[in-house]
Amino acid sequence: MKSIAIIGNDMAAWMAAAFFAVQPASHRPSISIFTGVSSAGDSLIQNPMPDFSGFLSLIGVSDQQFISACAATPTLGTCYHHFPRYEPTPGPDNCFYHGWGEYGSPLGAIEFHQLYIRAMHESMAYGLNDLSVAALAAQKNRFMPPSKDPLSIRATYETSYSFLTKNYIQLLQQICRSLAVQEDSRPVDKLLNHSGSYVIEFASGEHAGADFLVNTCPVLRHQITPYNSWQEFIPFTQVTRKNTAQAQQRLVSDVGFDHNLWRITRYATALQETTCYGLPDESVGEESADLFSGCVASPRAHQLLHLGRALINLHSPLVCEVDLIWVALRILQQFYPACPDGPSVVSEYNQRLIAAYENLRDLSQAVFIQTERKFPGTLTVINHCKISSPLQHKLDLFAHRGKLPAYENEVYKRQWQLWLLLGLGVVPSNVEPITFHLSQAEMRNVFDRIKAAVTAEVETWPSVK
């Protein structure tokens, strides 16, 4: 592989350029980025999962460098509003703070979530927000970075960052220019496929090609690649996006639900961004597939990779756009620099990437399903949507005994999934017999000690301004 061309001028394009620029290779290919395309308008605020730190490490950016360059602020997870009528400033009694970490701690062979299920069955009143350092800290708006000491209570959670997309792109551009990535701003008109070989055609009629192409522009994708809509699973349309000055820094994203509508509010330095998505009460035609969640049928052809909005349109309470891009690049890392025309490599990459995105789609749908079950009439459209067999298996198994199967290529950690379902109100009908090795008094003592330790720890943390 002697040359790589990236087509786009958004976050996905510059992430791809940086990704290829730092990859080890015996003969480094020349890398060009063609920025003469119309941008779809970047989401203002990114609030990725903790796995995002893997990309920073890959491109050689330390946490402190990233925080300084992007004015990044810490995040601990998501706040789900447990009532049908969304309110912008939720109180602690009607919310579930879902942090990236543990609630409680296992007692030898007894999983703590099984102990919590038993407590629910026996009507013991312990709120999840009081049993996790990350959840309580987010509720009280206090923060300390996690510890690497496995014996510390601050090792029981992970953290990530909230940042402005424009700052992040500027950082990526600096890295790419320092690594001799070539920029070409000529207006791009289309992608052409001549006998399986892709070339870029400019508005001037000139052409450019490369051994491997990456496209991040949805308009160019439409010309050559079919699109699988997920409307039958999550039939949303984007309604509004609003950016306002924030009153106070939040350590979580806020997710609230109303009648066939959900709102995701993310926070960054001095700004907050609220995006509303609607689930139409009536069937909506698919004149434009980009209105609906979905995925490119063949995300990687022999010579061409679609990335970012050109690959997927999945808006979820669980993930940000930057997460989806990093998932695609992380999987690609396992195959690069394989010969671009290797059909077995392409097939394997496509299968893994689609499976990863479908796992995220299913978990997003699980949030909507459980919200409707807890508050009937909130998201009624979900009752008529198709459920994939893996999701049905997860919901049935968890509802029966509080267990979850492990599927290949999952992005969201199973421990996060366990507490997500419990926090959203799933009460498994059975509990593992091993939990009954503790008497009810011993079990209360365990919960009281965890609650006291969590409260005492968080009280020592500074407040976020």
Mind listing the pLDDT tens digit for each residue in 75-106? 999 999 865 554 555 555 578 999 999 999 88
Is pLDDT larger for residue 450 or for residue 195?
450
User: Which pLDDT belongs to residue 422?
Assistant: 93
For residue 198, pLDDT over 60 is answered with yes
Distance CA 358, CA 160 (A): 23
Q: What is the DSSP string of 401-448?
A: HS--PPPTT--S-HHHHHHHHHHTT---S---GGGGGS-HHHHHHHHH
Write out pLDDT tens, residues 456-465.
Answer: 999 999 998 7
Other CB atoms within a 10 A radius of the CB of residue 145 amount to 9
What's the confidence (pLDDT) of residue 249?
84
Residue 23 has pLDDT above 60, yes or no: yes
Question: Mean pLDDT over residues 440-450, rounded?
Answer: 93
Question: How many Å apart are CA 391 and CA 394, to the nearest integer?
Answer: 5
Q: What is the mean pLDDT of residues 173-197?
A: 90
Q: Are 387 and 365 in contact (CB under 8 A)?
A: yes
Q: What's the chain's average pLDDT?
A: 88
The pLDDT > 90 percentage for the chain reads 60
Q: What domains lie within the chain, and their CATH numbers?
A: 3-72+159-230+294-431 (3.50.50.60)
Contact predicate 100/157, CB 8 Å? yes
The Cα angle at residue 251 between residues 308 and 409, in degrees rounded to 5:
40
Residue 83's pLDDT is: 56
Q: Which residues have a Cβ under 8 Å from the Cβ of 1 and sit 6 or more positions away? A: 25, 29, 211, 212, 337, 339, 340
Q: Tally Cβ neighbours within 10 Å of residue 296.
A: 26
pLDDT, one tens digit per residue, over 207-252 is 998 999 999 998 888 667 788 888 889 887 767 778 888 777 899 9
> Binning pLDDT at 50, 70 and 90, where does residue 286 land?
low
Confidence of residue 168 (pLDDT cuts 50, 70, 90): very high
pLDDT digits (tens, 9 = 90+) for 389-416: 999 999 999 999 999 998 989 999 999 9
> Residue 329: its pLDDT value, please?
96
Q: How far is CA 38 from CA 181, 203, 304, 315, 465, in A?
A: 20, 13, 19, 21, 38
- In the predicted model, is pLDDT for residue 149 greater than 70? yes
Write the burial class of residue 361 (CB in 10 Å: 0-12 exposed, 13-18 middle, 19+ buried): buried
- Sequence-ordered list of residues with C-beta below 8 angstroms from that of 63, at least 6 positions apart, any chain: 53, 56
pLDDT tens across 316-348, in order?
A: 889 999 999 999 999 999 888 776 667 788 899
Model confidence at 11: pLDDT above 90: yes
Alpha helices by DSSP H, 201-279: 218-222
What integer pLDDT is reported at residue 261 of this predicted model? 86
| Average pLDDT rounded to a whole number, residues 266-289 | 76
How much is the pLDDT for 134?
A: 95
- Band of pLDDT at residue 370, cut at 50, 70 and 90: very high
Distance, in Å, from the CA atom of 90 to the CA atom of 92, rounded to the nearest integer, reads: 7
